[in-house]
Amino acid sequence: MISATFIFKQKSSDHEFDSLDQSIESFVIKHHEYLGRDQWSNEEKGTLAVVYYFQTENGLKALKDFSDHKSAKSQYHKWYEGYQVIVSQVLHTYGDGNLDHVTKQK
């Protein structure tokens, strides 16, 4: 399993941003390798993090190659003060079994 964490600090939004964001989200959740997502915010820093989970790196590559994602990335400076992407391989997960999560071992 692969996780891709997108951390960003948004400075503005407009119709173009909203349209691209919706298109990208729709593309991701319809992709056959998509497993789920989490979203976190850090109000102290003013940042937001969205974590997408894919079966393999092919799911993430499809997102990177998606035309609307490329368009949004090329214009990020209009909407974001900055961003960071962390790509990780999920090796192990554990817990008490009482939390329903995409990474829950079956």
**What is the structure's pLDDT at 97?**
85
**What is the structure's pLDDT at 60?**
93
Q: Which of 14, 75, 81, 22 is nearest to 47 (CA)?
A: 81
pTM across the whole model: 0.89
Sign of CA dihedral 90, 69, 49, 22: negative
- In sequence order, the β-bridge partners of residue 6 are 50, 85
Spell out, as residue ranges, where the chain has pLDDT lower than 70. Answer: 105-106
